[in-house]
Chain A
Amino acid sequence: MRIFDTNVQLLKYKTLKAVIKHIYANDLDSIYLDIPKEIVPGPKATMRCCIYKERAIVGERVKLALGGDKSNPNIVEVIDIACDECPVDGIMVTPACRGCLTHLCKENCPKDAITIIDKRAVIDKEKCIECGKCVKSCPYGAIIAQHRPCVVSCKPKALTVNSESKKAEINVDKCINCGACVCACPFGAIVDKSFIVDCINILRNSEDGKNYKVYAVIAPSIVSQFKYAKVEQVITGMKKLGFHQVVEAALGADVDLKLEADECIKKGVMLSSCCPAFVDYVIKNFPELESYISENVSPMVVTAKMIKASDPTAKVIFIGPCSAKKAEYKLPKTGGAIDCVMSFEELQAFLDARDINVSDLECSPLDNASYFGRIFAKSGGVAQGIKNEAAKQGKDVITCVMNGIDECRIGLTRLKFKRATENFFEGMACEGGCINGALCLTHGVKNADDVDRYGNEAKEKTTDNSVNLYEMAFGKKEENQ
């Protein structure tokens, strides 16, 4: 049974699981001493130079599992001591250099940065601008460009290397909390804060539903997770954790499709609002386009509002693959609809810490939404739904699917300079959509197929009944105005 993609995820999981176990055992006094020793028993180091460094890093991870630096509003944080200060050599000549006669590297260098010394190319770092022309021109592939994986992964350029300490640093004014760097760092030095303690408190204080009921709103990307069990078994497992009911966020997505299609037709040009990292990217990098962002709140928030309309004392915890949701739920525009956010990684740790093996459990059904709400999990899904919804009204909406921040930048730039002809811009920060969210257990290549299958399994084939339900709770929009 392989749950995770990497050993870094496994380490995060072990830490979270240990923290949860200690919380339930009311054994928190020496958590910073005990957990590092539990996870790194020694005597031999397996990850770093010595067990003491390994334990110190686990100690930092315990802190992040308990909520991290409270004075830092960012979700993603760097663990200084875990950052390996990867060499940032940029363009390097490797021993594969044959010292050939053509010197294509030298000939192609626009800055005269390459000289041939002892039949070997040598790069003058002072002159090199890292354009990569020599890398492309070498017939032996002997010149390579080496960059820090974290820096490369950070498309909004929020992550830089401190010139003195050589440690990775996050500029919170630029960071969109997409979590790409969390996945990209091979040393596991960048981690998302966990709010699992708050989640546990909400569940425990409900006293099995006596004081209030706790609902989980689950992201549609669940379908490509927990591959060793059925989604329906995971739902049973969640109920054993203390959730009264699990509701698909896709229900809110169904409603959003109707509301956003109406809004898009009215506005003429609109940007999607379901991906919080994309919304943050627009605000921080294209402030002039902020007014184009849909005013409708994300499916997570719509679903939670519908739950709270039916049960005013309810508490709602969102569970998904997204680190940016951990920031979104605290924003004023959500109106406190969501009480806490948990990741799929944290859910796995939570289930295991409570000794709940979901593959042994009976099934509980999960069916609240239509095909269209469920395919929000993949890139292109929102655009497809909007097109469908507009077509119902006899309108044609031309969509632009922006898959990953690089494509978002291109699409938004076209819009900014009035070069765009589309009406609806779907932006998703993670390439492939939420199924490749940073906090997924696995990022499989076939996950998009899972989403289609799951969409087709929905009882509802259109969004109509979800919209009816929303209107029953909140009245029709026209009537409200």
Chain B
Amino acid sequence: MKLSICVGSSCHLKGSYDVIEELKRLVKKYDVEDVLELNASFCLGHCSDGVSAKLDDELITGLNPENVEEIFLKQVMPKIKESK
């Protein structure tokens, strides 16, 4: 699976690099490095909804370094388990 984090100007200013670093840590922590590929996107078109990301075709908005683990467990992990 692919998780693309928006690094366009809006999301960058809202902290997308911190979100990416946090996600890199979580991918290791939950041992999903082999199944989840992290990459960047230059604008997902949701500039006013906080840091956005796309899990394959599903949009995730409102990410920040504080809530990223919670959202990761709620929205990303179940999908990974489903696909296994």
Q: Which residues of A contact B (CB under 8 A)?
A: 215, 235, 244-247, 306-307, 309-311, 364-368, 459-460, 465, 468-469, 472-473
Docked-complex contact B43 and A245, CB < 8 angstroms: yes
CB contact between B20 and one of A365, A366, A460, A472 (< 8 Å): that residue: A472
> How many residues in B have their beta carbons less than 8 Å from beta carbons of A?
18
Q: List 19 extra interface pairs beyond A247-B8, A465-B17, A468-B21, CB under 8 A.
A: A215-B42, A244-B43, A246-B9, A247-B42, A309-B39, A310-B4, A310-B39, A310-B40, A311-B41, A364-B9, A365-B10, A367-B12, A367-B13, A368-B7, A368-B9, A368-B12, A459-B12, A459-B13, A469-B7
Bound Cα distance A65, B4 (Å): 39
- Count A/B pairs, Cβ under 8 Å: 52
Docked-complex contact B13 and A365, CB < 8 angstroms: yes
What are the residues of chain B within 8 A of A364 when measuring CB–CB?
9-10, 47
B1-27 to A contact mask, C-beta < 8 Å, 1/0: 000100111101100010011000000
Query: Chain A's nearest CB lies how many Å from the CB of B37?
Result: 10
Bound Cα distance A215, B40 (Å): 15
CB contact between B41 and one of A235, A310, A366 (< 8 Å): that residue: A310
Bound Cα distance A225, B52 (Å): 31
B28-67 to A contact mask, C-beta < 8 Å, 1/0: 0000000000111111010100000000000000000000
Q: What are 15 contact pairs spanning A and B, CB under 8 A?
A: A215-B42, A245-B43, A306-B40, A309-B39, A310-B42, A364-B47, A365-B9, A368-B7, A368-B8, A368-B9, A459-B13, A465-B17, A469-B20, A469-B40, A472-B39
Docked-complex contact B9 and A473, CB < 8 angstroms: no
Q: Which residues of B contact A (CB under 8 A)?
A: 4, 7-10, 12-13, 17, 20-21, 38-43, 45, 47
Query: Chain A's nearest CB lies how many Å from the CB of B57?
Result: 14
Query: Chain A's nearest CB lies how many Å from the CB of B26?
Result: 15
Q: Which of B8, B13, B20, B41 has the most CB of A within 10 A?
A: B8
Query: Chain A's nearest CB lies how many Å from the CB of B71?
Result: 19
Docked-complex contact B17 and A311, CB < 8 angstroms: no
What are the residues of chain A within 8 A of B40 when measuring CB–CB?
306, 310, 469, 472-473
**Contact A366/B9 with A309-B39, A310-B40 known, Cβ cut-off 8 Å:** yes
Bound Cα distance A460, B47 (Å): 19
The residue of chain A having its C-beta at the shortest distance from the C-beta of B4 within the complex is A310
Query: Chain A's nearest CB lies how many Å from the CB of B29?
Result: 18
What are the residues of chain B within 8 A of A307 when measuring CB–CB?
42
Query: Chain B's nearest CB lies how many Å from the CB of A339?
Result: 15
Bound Cα distance A460, B38 (Å): 21
What are the residues of chain B within 8 A of A247 when measuring CB–CB?
8, 42
What are the nearest 6 A-B pairs in CB distance?
A245-B43, A365-B9, A465-B17, A367-B9, A310-B41, A310-B40
Bound Cα distance A245, B6 (Å): 12
Query: Chain A's nearest CB lies how many Å from the CB of B10?
Result: 5
Bound Cα distance A306, B39 (Å): 11
What are the residues of chain A within 8 A of B39 when measuring CB–CB?
309-310, 472-473
Bound Cα distance A215, B39 (Å): 18
Q: Which of A309, A310, A459 has the most CB of B within 10 A?
A: A310
Bound Cα distance A235, B13 (Å): 16
The residue of chain B having its C-beta at the shortest distance from the C-beta of A464 within the complex is B17
What are the residues of chain B within 8 A of A306 when measuring CB–CB?
40, 42
Docked-complex contact B9 and A468, CB < 8 angstroms: no
What are the residues of chain B within 8 A of A468 when measuring CB–CB?
17, 20-21
What are the residues of chain A within 8 A of B38 when measuring CB–CB?
472
Q: Which of B20, B40, B41 has the most CB of A within 10 A?
A: B40
Query: Chain A's nearest CB lies how many Å from the CB of B55?
Result: 15
What are the residues of chain A within 8 A of B41 when measuring CB–CB?
310-311
What are the residues of chain B within 8 A of A246 when measuring CB–CB?
9
What are the residues of chain B within 8 A of A472 when measuring CB–CB?
20, 38-40
What are the residues of chain B within 8 A of A469 when measuring CB–CB?
7, 17, 20, 40
Bound Cα distance A468, B41 (Å): 14
What are the residues of chain A within 8 A of B12 when measuring CB–CB?
367-368, 459
Bound Cα distance A348, B60 (Å): 36
Query: Chain B's nearest CB lies how many Å from the CB of A377?
Result: 18
CB contact between A311 and one of B13, B20, B21, B42 (< 8 Å): that residue: B42
Bound Cα distance A247, B41 (Å): 11
What are the residues of chain A within 8 A of B10 when measuring CB–CB?
364-365
Query: Chain A's nearest CB lies how many Å from the CB of B69?
Result: 19
Bound Cα distance A364, B17 (Å): 19
Bound Cα distance A245, B4 (Å): 16
Q: Which of B12, B13, B47 has the most CB of A within 10 A?
A: B12
What are the residues of chain B within 8 A of A244 when measuring CB–CB?
43, 45
Bound Cα distance A310, B43 (Å): 10
Bound Cα distance A364, B9 (Å): 8
Q: Which of A244, A307, A311, A472 has the most CB of B within 10 A?
A: A472
